[in-house]
Amino acid sequence: MRRHLKSLIKSPGLNNAAIGEVFVGLVNDVFKNYHSFQTSGDITAYINPDFSRVRKKALD
């Protein structure tokens, strides 16, 4: 999925780069949280991730 979104960033289109960057950020955060869950066993960090950084970037 991440690879597809990276190619979306490079493809021509009105908002493809912005959309791709936001979704790549979400995918990166989800997998970072998943890794944290795997190492710590704390499910709350995985279920309730903080996407405020990605939301802020999407709204700019």
Residue type present at position 38:
Q
Write down the pLDDT at residue 12. Answer: 92
3-state secondary structure of 7: helix
Q: How far apart are alpha carbons 42 and 28 in whole angstroms?
A: 18
Chain-centre distance for alpha carbon 55: 10
* Domain range annotation of the chain: 24-60
* Whether the predicted model's global pTM rises above the 0.95 cut: no
**Regions of the chain short of the pLDDT cut 70:** 45-60
Write down the pLDDT at residue 55. Answer: 58
